[in-house]
Amino acid sequence: MKTIELRAPYLIFLGSESGLTYAKTGAGLVEWRRELCKGQLNLPGGTIDLGLPQMSVAEAKAAGIKSLVIGTASVGGSIPDEWLEVLEEAAALGLDIVAGVHTRLSDVDRLAKAAGQSGARLVDVRIPPARLPVGTGKKRTGKRLLMVGTDCAVGKKYTALQMEKDMKRLGWNADFRASGQTGIMIAGNGIPIDSVVSDFVSGAAELLSPDNTEDHWDVIEGQGGIFHPGFSAVSMGLLVGSQPDAFVVCHEARREKIMGWEDFPLPTINDVIERTIAIGELTNPDITCVGVSVNTSSLKADEREAYLADLSSRVGLPCVDPLQDGTDSIIAQLSAVLASRNPNTVRSA
């Protein structure tokens, strides 16, 4: 897997972004590694506030910040020209530039020159390992739990991180497996699945969750959505290569259209469950859904409990907001599934 080393503390760069959905990299770092995030920088027009002090590049340097982390993830993953002045200034002052965009930092002449003169590093997180294999489909030892989504940016990463946290608290042998740039920044390793050439996506997923002990669970961060008109290919490759024993559907309450593709309605959760099983059975005939994770931030506090209860009654599975409720009920469902398959199944260390 790709292992990275980031120099902390961080200045989170948010550009002129005004939609929190597209600032998920910065938001994820603040949520899960807040102690490392010491400031944020918005360009004119940017309205995202992650609750960090506003700093200029010069102020960040004076405060001892070591890395400027690009905290946005727009469609296409490019570096807009309007960013270059600030990024060049940071590199010239010796701050590392860390990015999970598709454009390689070293390919931007202004940044490469500034970093070369100051000794700053240009850290591209979204570069997959070289010489990835084609998927084999062969059964691997150990167990795997995959997050799948009704759409992009519905909480797959957050759900996987919370599930790993809760599983470990309950005594399970589990590890988070990052498949996207923000997850890799949080975990320090992983494979950026959406940057892998399509022929090798399932092989990359096999490397992401290799053979392990029978009691070990890889909790795999999902990507895209299998009903997504733009990103379904990466979702299907990750699903087939992960050969998950179980999966959790991730959803955002009240979202009705595919984000950014407004002509496409959001699939129902039951549709996602059925199609995930149909595709996943190719490499794991025992694949099953064990719960639904819902981002309920769009609901009022007095609506959340009723919404989740109604959804649970309709899908017949535990439905939780992982950051509000934790994931213990989903883990209990997973335990029940294991027990029904094999009463002697060892699930924890």
Query: Could you report the per-residue pLDDT of 73-107, keeping only the tens digit for each?
Result: 765 567 888 999 999 999 999 999 999 888 889 99
Query: Could you report the per-residue pLDDT of 30-50, keeping only the tens digit for each?
Result: 999 999 999 999 999 989 999
For the chain, list the domains and their CATH numbers. 2-124 (3.40.50.720), 143-341 (3.40.50.300)
Mean per-residue pLDDT of the chain: 93
pLDDT, position 77: 62
Both tokens assigned to 5? 């080393």
pLDDT, position 18: 85
| Residue 349 pLDDT class (50, 70, 90 cuts) | very low
| Residue 126 pLDDT class (50, 70, 90 cuts) | confident
Q: Which of 42-46, 145-149, 237-241 has the lowest mean pLDDT?
A: 42-46
Q: β-strands 143-149, 173-177: how paired? A: unpaired
pLDDT, position 78: 74
Higher-confidence residue of 295 and 4: namely 295
pLDDT, position 22: 79
| Residue 348 pLDDT class (50, 70, 90 cuts) | very low
Query: Could you report the per-residue pLDDT of 180-222, keeping only the tens digit for each?
Result: 988 999 998 999 999 999 999 999 999 999 999 999 999 999 9
Residue 316 pLDDT more than 90? yes
pLDDT, position 188: 85
Residue 345 pLDDT more than 50? yes
Query: In which residue are the tokens 């918005």 written?
Result: 42
Q: β-strands 67-70, 96-99: how paired? A: parallel
pLDDT, position 101: 81
Residue 262 pLDDT more than 80? yes
Beta bridge partners of 217: 143, 174
Q: How far is CA 233 from CA 144, 244, 285, in A?
A: 20, 17, 21
* 113-122 long-range contacts, CB within 8 A, separation 24+: 114/88, 114/89, 115/91, 117/92, 118/91, 118/92, 118/93, 118/94, 119/94, 120/90, 120/91, 120/92, 120/93, 120/94, 120/95, 120/96, 121/7, 121/96, 121/97, 122/91, 122/96, 122/97
pLDDT, position 193: 94
Beta bridge partners of 161: none
pLDDT, position 343: 65
Residue type, position 236, single letter: M
- Quote the percentage of the chain above a pLDDT of 70: 97
pLDDT, position 80: 86
Query: Could you report the per-residue pLDDT of 13-30, keeping only the tens digit for each?
Result: 999 888 777 788 899 999
Average pLDDT over residues 230-259: 97
pLDDT, position 3: 73
Residue 113 pLDDT more than 50? yes
- Quote the percentage of the chain above a pLDDT of 90: 82
